[in-house]
Structure 1
């Protein structure tokens, strides 16, 4: 009843306000004489007389006064709402909410004077006398959380006490704020920080006067830095901070330091160009007092739902020591990286991708700006740029163009394909029905067409990007038409039969002949088109055999299931003697040898030897059914004993000796809920060897040995342990992966010295740190451990020795919610020494990060200490001190 009465009174007030508005605009009444119009005869009315208005009184020209409220007021309060008609005030108390035009306001108490267009909002006291329900003022995209606020809805001016607002990564709290208009604020005694706790930040900048333009800039007067409520001598007479939501260009402050061999340096200084919303550019450089310098261009680009990527170019001119000293050396190193990925939804029929990592073979081992052991231990750099397109024809046609690069950093040899062009026509079943199942040998006959053209280049690091690298280029085109079918025999056996026609085109061949003048065989290149054609036949038959060994439902192991997949295959390749010629080995005319003019081509040459090979293979899988530890579950638990155990060998019917190939064995399995992966392999040779280590046509068992001679064996074990059942694993830094390093921390965690904000703490740790702080932490310490063990045995030439035997480990542990320690180390049992070792320490200082990395063992001995603000807007506020490993320039 009380609520209804309130609304009735409120309605009466607004109706009264409306009447008062009309009365206030009335003029004193005056008598106005209206002359009577002469009446016409109703029988003689015309159309004009009907349309013409009879009333000639003019409309009222007095303008109506605007209403007191220019918009709809939406309000809500928990305890009461009160309207004072005399003061023209609306009061809302306890959990008050007010929405008026573009203003949204929440507070403990709100007072709205609709005559003066002023709004006041403040806190209220709870039952204990504490202030609660701080105001939250939102206008457009700007949000302010003060202790109290007074705001004029017309002039847009406001006074705010203890305002709290966030602009990007900055949080600002001011003692008194004055708003002049929509775009300018003046503040007094303001603190701004990137800390999440604006009321009790671990650090902040205290400014006596501030001019604040939202989303644009902050201009301050005298400002000094305060850490843990202790003023520091770090101060500025004035400061300027950009606050744009978009990226803005600006200088990157370098790191200062000194090195033993290159003197003092400025490192990672430069300029960031915010070129557009789709791409940017960062130019960084280093300078050392002994004359060394380096520069880097880094750019990232992206277009939503289309593609994204990044490009890095690095160049370093390194000088060790000074001229005249014995350790003086010079070296130029460079590295180019390009990563491009296309959104799968951008175009389903075509795709472009790139992953490029090329440059000097010694870049990661000698770089001034990389503390990246994982990348320096990598012996191969590889690149691939490809474009593919599918033509929606019947049958489908696939087309692709690819450029690849492979570089061995030890031998400094480079292999490239510029480019590789491939095209293929989808399988065609000429005898299959349009509708229905393809069943039988005839209906399953199918063929397709494949085209491949390549241009290969083999060069070295010293000739890369020079004209000489193209002198040894080789090219060729390959056509192939495979024809195959499959069918079943005796219900359980699957048979596959296939034949293939191949044609290879070359544009350069060779000719060999003995030169009596030089007394040696000379190889002469022959330019011009040439081709050879080959064909082959193959077939295979296989089946699957299932076997189960039951031990009883009352046993812990109830049953073991064994799956075997035996297969026998036959391959026939005839001899193609027509493509072979002879050449003299000397001038006697009695010694000759055969060769094919195609043998140096990229696809090789045809064989002049008939091959009749029978291949045999057997794959096995072992699985157990075990009683579940949980007695409430009725179904047994399946446990994989062996994922695979494979045997394979071949027999060449046409060979006159050494017809059997070595028996290859491989297998793998997992243990401890898939935390441990075990893979192994071995090669067993049935033939013996002579004293020189050469295979002879005599079985090893007939030579006084066993049935097989183990020529090689290997085993790898990977084990991942963690306090969260394998959910937490070591993850390497992004830059390490881009540089071609390992995806784990077994070779240490890479560090890009131009960006020290990389952290051991993950985003999940940041989200849960408040929860961790409230727990009794010592009862639950997160940790993870990764181990990798490799063992390699070799006995090819009766050496009978372990050539590789090493153990590598990497782990991280959270000593406290904000202290993390990590390590990477290992031991080589063959060399009998500790392998690469790295110790990592990191402290999460909320808005700051502190880290220390140490590599104590040569040749990569170094250490690094860093402390700085995490936020990108204040990333230049840091202290970075490190000792880089000594570089041996080549």
Structure 2
């Protein structure tokens, strides 16, 4: 508080006593006077005032000179508010003003509230304290607020001349930290000296779970806290953890600073310093974190992490990771060395910022073995994933007539087992919306002619096929395949016999390439033995194109059937919906685009097309004339609702999308029938269990060499169909609460699963900080909860294979994940499974988590298997003290591949 507090309190004095009258010439006759006494006003309602006061130091002056005296300017800089519930007492003799019960003073950005406020304007001091109620409890503790800084002491003594103050048993909050002190000396508006300070991030300052006790401390609000000898107390019990001095940064904005490393040990790399680095607070919209690891055998790792956001525009994050891994020591037989990296980028644009323009990115690429070998990643879901996928896209809509859509996309797909990479950089797509040239102006389209429409689509791609060792090297770009494809579909639809929907279309396609091939037999000069040469494939640079067309027709309808039961029955009716359809497709032969070449010196010829290595494939040489069929079934039931107040029965799905499909090729000389595909699914147990199944039925038999032959299976002594493959998956999720479970976002971003069937994602030695955007915790109701929340996830999968007559179960497994809160603060989880085919337990993880109010403790253990490890962590949740932690783990053994 500043010296203006003197005038704030004096305003209460002048507003309550009243006003004095001055006369220019004649003085009024004096009336009978009485000695001044202490006076107190007790209004029926609280005293309130808002005014701008004159200078309270004006003395009595000679009335003859009054006309020549200039009016003194008020020293107050703004309006003053004061309030007291019971009374405002003024003692002129002692020069003391007292505001009692609910006392308040407001001036500029100062606000003082207390049970009692006493102002001694002779000593230039203000005192604010609390009151006692009838039970002897203290109430109405002082509250002093200046801007965003709030102090809640037991009492405060302030000198407005020197700007110094003494504050007893004060409580204040500075960002995530709460501070309680025995005595505070306010030197000025920006420096406070504290004695007996308790610094904590706990919400309850009177009974914190932990605190740092500093004998002496210095507080600069909004900037820092510097302390002397400091001890850590847990549950008011001193610990041997002590520091001779400490520095706590306090700021409303992000500040750059050093991130101290964690100490660790690895079986094959020695001792380590991990996750140490520097945080760069570059802006309010983006930041950068640089982290590194170093092992005593020479291994090291670097990570660059950045988050950015622009409100109502976009947000995203970028992670770049590189590791130089060395196992064992040079000269030992198990010595090995490798370099792995991973790049992740996630970007989302707010669709409201520009509805006609959209940009998004989801990138996850790098070394195929990064998640299997990484020093810091210990997530089985990420390490077992076989593919890494990336996509960056920009879409633009032009609101013309007709509407035009444009998109540019870059896609990446990487197989971590074969190390093969497929990439399109970029893919350009453009389309013009449907045009109905024969539709009337009123927009009503009915019949064959009026429904005729055409559309234009363009797709251009630049494709690359490579491995991760050649990624973005010259060899990758040398094998690029570039092409452009134009498609113009012309179609119409109409109804016949009122119940059948007919559609017909003609599709024209033109494909452009900038590179084709030529095959020829090259004779060697002096062949030692036959053959006297080899087939050589050469690239031919230059523009070339081919054109194709096709026809298709389809007819379908919808059939409904309902079987009703008695009204008293639980199941009142069953409805069967059948959606049959028959289609016909015709594709002529484009043999004119095919040439011949010699395969050997004898002159044996073979056919090929110069477009066969193109980005969009090659034209078909074979003639196709197919008839396809599809029958989709859906079964629904109406059951009586258990709720007696319900007025209508409840509808449930018994079987959803039971589909039979296949086709017949009239142009083929043999094996005209394709295998029949059967698929379906349903939801059971109040839609908590999802069941999906599929099977392939082949009408043809197998020959002596287990190949398909042009003989029906029933004619070969078998059944009507031969099941070649079948699979079924069951996912069952059960929980005791309605709240959605938190998803494993980082695990999914790494390429794993969002659930915890393969364990939770964990980065070794990484700070585990509470998300500030998370909702506030529920009020603590004790360490026991009669209602124990829990959740269970089951995933069952079985696959049958009989393509070549093997008749075996190729895969058969059951995965389970369960979590429960034994108490409101104890969480236990387990993930495991069993492989019935290989007869072994799959990845198993046991998780224990303890919420210690301001702290968090967890323990993860994978007891056996190739990915066995354990890790223990305990640390403070608040980000400002996240470096105060203990982290210990046994890292899983990693094998370089």
Give the TM-score, by structure 1 length: 0.91
User: Tell me, what secondary structure is at the counterpart of 1:657?
Assistant: coil
Q: Which moved more, 1:315-324 or 1:343-352?
A: 343-352
Q: Which runs of 5+ in 2 are unaligned?
A: 1-12, 24-53, 525-531
How many Å apart are 1:113 and its aligned residue?
Answer: 5.8
| 1:678-704 per-position Cα deviation (integer Å, ceiling 9, x unaligned) | 011111111111121211111111111
Q: Is the 8 A contact 2:690 2:730 kept in 1?
A: yes
| 1:290-323 per-position Cα deviation (integer Å, ceiling 9, x unaligned) | 1111111111111112211111111111111112
Separation in 2, partners of 1:320, 1:25: 90
How many Å apart are 1:638 and its aligned residue?
Answer: 1.2
How many Å apart are 1:70 and its aligned residue?
Answer: 5.7
Corresponding residue number in structure 2 for 1:50: none
| 1:26-51 per-position Cα deviation (integer Å, ceiling 9, x unaligned) | 6424499xxxxxxxxxxxxxxxxxxx
User: Tell me, what secondary structure is at the counterpart of 2:715?
Assistant: helix
| 1:807-850 per-position Cα deviation (integer Å, ceiling 9, x unaligned) | 00111111112111111100000000000001111111111111
Corresponding residue number in structure 1 for 2:723: 710
| 1:545-572 per-position Cα deviation (integer Å, ceiling 9, x unaligned) | 2221110210010011111111111111
Q: Is the 8 A contact 2:266 2:890 kept in 1?
A: yes
Match of 2:598 among 584, 600, 606: 584
- State yes or no: 1:622 paired with 2:631: no
| 1:739-772 per-position Cα deviation (integer Å, ceiling 9, x unaligned) | 11101101111111253416899956x6125135
Separation in 1, partners of 2:395, 2:308: 22
| CA RMSD between the two structures | 2.6
- State yes or no: 1:768 paired with 2:778: yes
Corresponding residue number in structure 2 for 1:600: 613
Q: Is the 8 A contact 1:68 1:115 kept in 2?
A: no
Q: Is the 8 A contact 2:769 2:882 kept in 1?
A: no
Match of 1:448 among 425, 448, 455: 455
Q: Is the 8 A contact 1:730 1:812 kept in 2?
A: no
Is the alpha carbon distance of 1:759 and 1:699 closer, same or farther for their aligned partners in structure 2, counting shifts above 3 Å?
A: farther
Is the alpha carbon distance of 1:561 and 1:515 closer, same or farther for their aligned partners in structure 2, counting shifts above 3 Å?
A: same
Separation in 2, partners of 1:545, 1:354: 44
User: Tell me, what secondary structure is at the counterpart of 1:701?
Assistant: helix
User: Tell me, what secondary structure is at the counterpart of 1:443?
Assistant: coil
Separation in 2, partners of 1:76, 1:656: 104
Q: Is the 8 A contact 1:125 1:132 kept in 2?
A: yes
- State yes or no: 1:524 paired with 2:538: yes
Corresponding residue number in structure 2 for 1:736: 747
| 1:47-69 per-position Cα deviation (integer Å, ceiling 9, x unaligned) | xxxxxxxxxxxx73534263789
Is the alpha carbon distance of 1:729 and 1:218 closer, same or farther for their aligned partners in structure 2, counting shifts above 3 Å?
A: closer
| 1:94-117 per-position Cα deviation (integer Å, ceiling 9, x unaligned) | 444443332233333334567877
Q: Which moved more, 1:482-491 or 1:800-809?
A: 482-491
Match of 2:756 among 745, 750, 769: 745
Corresponding residue number in structure 2 for 1:546: 560
Match of 1:183 among 181, 190, 193: 190
Q: Is the 8 A contact 1:69 1:114 kept in 2?
A: no
| 1:355-374 per-position Cα deviation (integer Å, ceiling 9, x unaligned) | 11111111110111111111
Corresponding residue number in structure 1 for 2:179: 172
Corresponding residue number in structure 2 for 1:836: 843
Q: Which moved more, 1:94-103 or 1:874-883?
A: 94-103
- State yes or no: 1:418 paired with 2:430: no
Q: Is the 8 A contact 2:82 2:103 kept in 1?
A: no
How many Å apart are 1:513 and its aligned residue?
Answer: 2.6
Corresponding residue number in structure 1 for 2:19: 15
Q: Which moved more, 1:641-650 or 1:145-154?
A: 145-154
Corresponding residue number in structure 2 for 1:557: 571
Separation in 2, partners of 1:671, 1:281: 48
Is the alpha carbon distance of 1:415 and 1:72 closer, same or farther for their aligned partners in structure 2, counting shifts above 3 Å?
A: same
User: Tell me, what secondary structure is at the counterpart of 1:555?
Assistant: coil
Corresponding residue number in structure 1 for 2:480: 473
Q: Which runs of 5+ in 1 are unaligned?
A: 1-8, 33-58
How many Å apart are 1:333 and its aligned residue?
Answer: 0.9
Corresponding residue number in structure 1 for 2:886: 879
- State yes or no: 1:654 paired with 2:661: no
User: Tell me, what secondary structure is at the counterpart of 2:778?
Assistant: helix
Match of 1:400 among 389, 403, 407: 407
User: Tell me, what secondary structure is at the counterpart of 1:578?
Assistant: helix
Separation in 2, partners of 1:723, 1:697: 56
Q: Which moved more, 1:520-529 or 1:309-318?
A: 520-529
Corresponding residue number in structure 2 for 1:825: 832
Separation in 2, partners of 1:762, 1:85: 55
- State yes or no: 1:28 paired with 2:62: yes
Separation in 1, partners of 2:176, 2:381: 33
Corresponding residue number in structure 1 for 2:70: 62
Corresponding residue number in structure 1 for 2:204: 197
How many Å apart are 1:169 and its aligned residue?
Answer: 0.5
How many Å apart are 1:515 and its aligned residue?
Answer: 3.3
Separation in 2, partners of 1:232, 1:224: 7
Q: Is the 8 A contact 2:318 2:346 kept in 1?
A: yes
- State yes or no: 1:159 paired with 2:166: yes
How many Å apart are 1:633 and its aligned residue?
Answer: 2.1
How many Å apart are 1:13 and its aligned residue?
Answer: 2.4
User: Tell me, what secondary structure is at the counterpart of 1:767?
Assistant: coil
Aligned pairs for 1:487-526 within 5 A: 487-517=494-524, 518-526=532-540
Q: Is the 8 A contact 1:735 1:752 kept in 2?
A: no
Corresponding residue number in structure 1 for 2:547: 533
- State yes or no: 1:641 paired with 2:654: yes
Q: Is the 8 A contact 2:262 2:765 kept in 1?
A: no
Separation in 1, partners of 2:56, 2:790: 78
Corresponding residue number in structure 1 for 2:33: none
Corresponding residue number in structure 2 for 1:268: 275
Match of 2:225 among 205, 218, 224: 218
Match of 2:766 among 743, 755, 769: 755
Separation in 2, partners of 1:68, 1:89: 20
Q: Which moved more, 1:592-601 or 1:658-667?
A: 592-601
Is the alpha carbon distance of 1:761 and 1:114 closer, same or farther for their aligned partners in structure 2, counting shifts above 3 Å?
A: closer
Is the alpha carbon distance of 1:570 and 1:117 closer, same or farther for their aligned partners in structure 2, counting shifts above 3 Å?
A: farther
How many Å apart are 1:351 and its aligned residue?
Answer: 1.9
How many Å apart are 1:406 and its aligned residue?
Answer: 0.8
Separation in 2, partners of 1:655, 1:452: 31
Q: Is the 8 A contact 2:769 2:879 kept in 1?
A: no
Separation in 1, partners of 2:835, 2:544: 53
- State yes or no: 1:150 paired with 2:163: no
Separation in 2, partners of 1:828, 1:69: 80
Is the alpha carbon distance of 1:829 and 1:101 closer, same or farther for their aligned partners in structure 2, counting shifts above 3 Å?
A: same
User: Tell me, what secondary structure is at the counterpart of 2:506?
Assistant: strand
- State yes or no: 1:73 paired with 2:81: yes
Q: Which moved more, 1:17-26 or 1:493-502?
A: 17-26
Is the alpha carbon distance of 1:123 and 1:12 closer, same or farther for their aligned partners in structure 2, counting shifts above 3 Å?
A: closer
Separation in 1, partners of 2:707, 2:300: 55
Q: Which moved more, 1:176-185 or 1:154-163?
A: 154-163
Is the alpha carbon distance of 1:469 and 1:790 closer, same or farther for their aligned partners in structure 2, counting shifts above 3 Å?
A: same
Q: Is the 8 A contact 1:668 1:678 kept in 2?
A: yes
User: Tell me, what secondary structure is at the counterpart of 2:360?
Assistant: strand
Q: Is the 8 A contact 2:770 2:877 kept in 1?
A: no
How many Å apart are 1:675 and its aligned residue?
Answer: 0.8
Separation in 1, partners of 2:90, 2:449: 93
How many Å apart are 1:499 and its aligned residue?
Answer: 1.0
Q: Is the 8 A contact 1:445 1:484 kept in 2?
A: yes
Separation in 2, partners of 1:80, 1:691: 111
Is the alpha carbon distance of 1:712 and 1:181 closer, same or farther for their aligned partners in structure 2, counting shifts above 3 Å?
A: same
Separation in 2, partners of 1:162, 1:847: 22
